[in-house]
Amino acid sequence: MNDAPYFNFQECSIVLKSTGLKAGTIEEMRSLLSKVSDNCIYHHTFQYFFKGNILEYTNDFAQWAGEAIGERELAERLSNVDPYVLPSMKALREDLVRIIDDFLATFPTPRAALRGDELFFNESVTIIYPLGIRARNLAEFLMVVRYIDPGSLYYHFYEARKRLGGIDDFSMWIEHSLCMKETAERIRAIDPFMHNIESIRQHIIDELEEAVRTDMEVDE
């Protein structure tokens, strides 16, 4: 295990850019969804959990429909969209628009948001930089995970899923560099949609502590 490649921790920060576009009704949201940039949709879906939002939803569109408009059924349908399993941003956009179209076909006149509660469409610039912290074994890795900034957890657990096809950086390293497949699979099984970032941290810590204890017992 001491010969394993280091895990180099990185962090990301998100800088928002306003598009100047906003929706006050479901119809307006649908119209804008069909033409805003892929970056805009990426921000409101993939980066939802970076912002510490309500866990009842999984993207900004669902949260707005449920909280500002009060259309919980639509919010639930939109929350069922998993952007990580869709093959492209085009497919994600089409899925969101289709769900809204299906809803409007049944409920053609949903109410409008109150003034000030409109959905503001934003884009983002993601800045990624090394923390200068690395771990060579599971015990060192556990120590770092306890204290790294939420931006680092987000980058390695959420953002990685877009880069690696649905797999996070942590479990990838643990499986392939430390050859601890069972631990990797338990971390990989943590549902990113059911927890906020700090809860994700605790679940990872719990799995790592158990693996470290087991490893120590084997060594004895």
Domain boundary among the residues 90, 123, 156 is at: 123
Instruction: Indicate the SS3 state at residue 108.
Output: coil
Residue where a domain terminates, one of 78, 94, 123: 123
Predicted TM-score of the model (pTM) = 0.87
Residue 216 reports pLDDT greater than 80: no
Q: How many domains does the chain have?
A: 2
Greater pLDDT, 196 or 10: 10
Domain co-membership, 89 together with 148: no
pLDDT classification of 1: cutoffs 50, 70, 90: very low
Identify the domain boundary among 85, 104, 123.
Answer: 123
φ, ψ at 154 (rounded to 5°): -60, -45
Q: Do 20 and 119 have their domain in common?
A: yes
**Same structural domain, 100 and 154:** no
What is the span of the domain harbouring residue 188? 7-12+127-219
Q: Check whether residue 175 and residue 80 sit in a common domain.
A: no
For residue 62, tell me if it sits in a domain.
Answer: yes
Does residue 77 form part of some domain?
A: yes
Q: Comparing C-alpha atoms, which of 117, 104, 114 is closest to residue 73? A: 104
Do 101 and 131 fall within a single domain? Answer: no
2 is a domain residue: no
Q: Which residue has the tokens 């639930």?
A: 76
Is the per-residue pLDDT at 170 higher than 80?
yes
Based on the fold, state whether residues 163 and 118 are members of the same structural domain: no
Are both 66 and 152 inside the same structural domain? no
Q: In the predicted model, what is the mean pLDDT of residues 126-147?
A: 95
Q: Do 156 and 101 share a structural domain?
A: no
- List all residues 6 or more positions away from 141 whose beta carbon is below 8 Å from its beta carbon: 7, 135, 170, 174, 208
